[in-house]
Amino acid sequence: MVAMHRDWSPFVVSAPGKVILFGEHAVVYGKAAIAGSLDMRAYALVTPRTDGKARMVLPDIDVDVLFDSHALPRLQSTSLSHPSEVEALVPNSINIPEGPGRTAVLTLVYLYGCIFTDSDRNTGFTICVRSLLPVGAGLGSSAAFNVVLSATLLQLTGQLREEGASASDRKLINQWAFHGEQVAHGTPSGIDNSVATYGGFLKYVKGEPSVSLESSHALRVLITNTNVPKSTKALVAGVRALRDQHPSVVDGILDSIHSISTSAAALFQSTSEDEAALEQQMQDIIRINHGLLSTLGVSHKSLERVREITAARNLASKLTGAGGGGCALTLIPNGMASDDAEVVAREMEDAGFNCYQTVVGSGGVAIARNVNGSATVEQWLAEAMARHGSTPVGSDGDVYGGAVAEFAILPAAAISELRPQ
DSSP letters, 54-76, are EEEEEGGGTEEEEE-GGGSPP--
Q: Are 94 and 3 in contact (CB under 8 A)?
A: no
Catalytic residue among 60, 120, 169, 192: 192
Positive/negative CA dihedral, 421, 180, 129, 225 = positive
DSSP tag of 398: B
Query: How far is C-alpha 34 from the chain's CA centre?
Result: 15
Burial class (CB in 10 A: 0-12, 13-18, 19+), 375: middle
Residue pair 161/168 in contact by the 8 Å Cβ criterion = yes
CB atoms within 10 A of CB 357: 16
Q: Which of 69, 142, 189, 299 does the annotation list as catalytic?
A: 142
For the question of residue 215 being annotated catalytic, the response is no
Q: By three-state DSSP, how is residue 212 classified?
A: strand
Query: CA-to-CA distance for 92 and 107, rounded, in angstroms?
Result: 17
Based on the residue annotation, tell me whether 81 is a catalytic residue of this protein.
no
* Residues forming beta bridges with residue 411, ordered by sequence position: none
Could you tell me which residues are beta bridge partners of residue 222?
Answer: 330, 357
Contact 211, 203 (CB under 8 A): yes
Cβ within 8 Å of residue 113, ≥6 positions away: 72, 73, 74, 75, 79, 86, 89
As annotated, the active-site residues are 142, 192
